[in-house]
Amino acid sequence: MEANEEYIRRKAYIEDQGSQRQKELSEEIWSLQEKLAKWDTMNLREVLSDLDPKMEDTFWSPELPSYEPKNYLAEIQNSKNFGLLKYLVRNGYIDENYAAYVSYFYPNSPTAQDRNFLLSITDRASLEYVYHLDQPDAVLECLEEADFFHREVRNFDLLSYLLRTKGPHLRTLLQSAATDQSAHTFFVEFWRTGRRSTRAFRFICALCQEHPEWFRIWCESKSILLEGEWRLFVLDALYFLPPERLSRINKENWLTERISDDPKFLQLDSPNVQRLIPALKALSVRFSQIDYREEDISLVREVCQENLYTLNLSMLKTAMAVIWSIPPAEVESRSYTHILRHPG
């Protein structure tokens, strides 16, 4: 009996020690992963300043690829200029974009315009979103994945290129909004300045695929879109997305309800009726009230003829006015008789 108790005690002790060690290792792994993620967003100067002396010594003695000469590293370390090199690197005078400087003398390298953009990322000095890139593909070759989490990389030409080529970095660039809300300002401006264009079409489609929840976030936020601008954003989605894909952005029927409850939604300039009506039907929109202008009558008539409204007095007046030209004041006295005479 005592032997069994001793066995149980020792077994519990060993298991407890193993569990504790596993917890310590998990915490150590998490710490290293966190530090690695942090280093991914730092430039060379920042990395060096974050290293302790022992790790910095290791930094200056890296393992070289096999194709380098055997004494290549030793010759550099024994050079009288090695101290100067360390000073220049440690203080940011030579950084990871050194190749961008020296490539000026080589053919097929990024243009001066593009190099200026690349250097702005290194220097953390944002350029305007509309800054023109001569060769977005060449710029892309010079960027690391971590660069796409920096606001300096936000550029309309670069985003247009990623949307056109469906490059893998597109997802990373979109994900940057998860950690930096200012990214939404960039994406909204990209959409706003390119409405009804091919790039806007690609952007809306990419958003539906990668972040369908953004449609609701943008429409319900008071700080992302301008007042009333949500209608234009939603309208582009209705125009650009196939009816069967609208369900991705309509979780919990929020979009159906928002459109249905908005009396001014159909006040549109030059609407594309052939695209709009199928989209409204796909969302099962039912307007409870429609405030319309003279120029909106043809669209409102289509909506009424497709029964995209709830049956109430307000909508009955609207339907009879736009379909049969019956004045609102006469609807209550004539509606039943008129509908019987004109069932179609």
Average pLDDT of the segment spanning 302-331: 85
For residues 114 and 175, state if they share a domain.
Answer: yes
Q: For 79-131, how does the pLDDT look when each residue is reduced to its tens digit (9 = 90+)?
A: 887 788 777 777 777 776 666 555 554 555 788 899 999 989 988 889 999 99
Q: Which two tokens stand for residue 161?
A: 């290129």
Per-residue CA distances from 162 to 154, 159, 233 (Å): 12, 5, 21
Residue written as token pair 């300039």: 269
Instruction: Record the pTM.
Output: 0.68
For residues 122 and 203, state if they share a domain.
Answer: yes
For residues 130 and 199, state if they share a domain.
Answer: yes
Residue written as token pair 């949307």: 163
Looking at 143, 178, 211, the residue that finishes a domain is 211
Please compute, for residue 143, the number of CA atoms within 13 A of its CA located in the half-sphere on the CB side. 28
For residues 157 and 82, state if they share a domain.
Answer: no
Average pLDDT of the segment spanning 51-59: 76
pLDDT greater at residue 59 or residue 101: 59
Answer whether residue 304 shows pLDDT above 90: yes
Q: Which two tokens stand for residue 239?
A: 């125009």
d(CA 27, CA 16): 17
Q: What is the pLDDT of residue 104?
A: 52
Q: What is the pLDDT of residue 340?
A: 44
The answer to whether residue 121 sits within a structural domain is yes
Per-residue CA distances from 35 to 52, 58, 128, 166 (Å): 13, 17, 31, 30
Length of the chain: 344
For residues 119 and 181, state if they share a domain.
Answer: yes
The answer to whether residue 9 sits within a structural domain is no
Q: How many CB atoms lie within 10 A of CB 164?
A: 13
The answer to whether residue 134 sits within a structural domain is yes
Q: Which two tokens stand for residue 287?
A: 């307007």
Please compute, for residue 41, the number of CA atoms within 13 A of its CA located in the half-sphere on the CB side. 13
For residues 167 and 87, state if they share a domain.
Answer: no
Answer whether residue 75 shows pLDDT above 90: no
The answer to whether residue 102 sits within a structural domain is yes
Q: Say how far residue 253 (Cα) sits from the centre of its chain.
A: 22
For residues 83 and 103, state if they share a domain.
Answer: no
Q: For 239-263, how does the pLDDT look when each residue is reduced to its tens digit (9 = 90+)?
A: 999 988 899 999 999 999 999 999 9
The answer to whether residue 25 sits within a structural domain is no
Domain that holds residue 103: 97-211
Answer whether residue 40 shows pLDDT above 60: yes
The answer to whether residue 46 sits within a structural domain is yes
For residues 183 and 79, state if they share a domain.
Answer: no
The answer to whether residue 61 sits within a structural domain is yes
Give the pLDDT band (50/70/90) at residue 43.
confident
Q: What is the pLDDT of residue 329?
A: 66
Give residues with Cβ within 8 angstroms of 160, minimum separation 6: 136, 199, 202
Answer whether residue 149 shows pLDDT above 70: yes
Q: What is the pLDDT of residue 3?
A: 57
The Cα angle at residue 230 between residues 182 and 158, in degrees rounded to 5: 45
Looking at 155, 181, 211, the residue that finishes a domain is 211
For residues 64 and 116, state if they share a domain.
Answer: no
Residues linked to residue 268 through DSSP beta bridges, in sequence order:
none
Q: Confirm if 184 and 144 have CB atoms less than 8 A apart.
A: no
Average pLDDT of the segment spanning 45-60: 76
For residues 53 and 84, state if they share a domain.
Answer: yes
Q: Which two tokens stand for residue 255?
A: 């979009």
Q: Is the dihedral of CA 19, 23, 29, 30 positive or negative?
A: positive
Quote the number of domains for the chain: 2
For residues 162 and 121, state if they share a domain.
Answer: yes
Please compute, for residue 323, the number of CA atoms within 13 A of its CA located in the half-sphere on the CB side. 20
The answer to whether residue 86 sits within a structural domain is yes
Per-residue CA distances from 120 to 151, 155, 182 (Å): 11, 12, 18
For residues 84 and 112, state if they share a domain.
Answer: no
How are the residues of the chain apportioned to helix, strand and coil, as percentages rounded to the nearest 5? 65, 0, 35
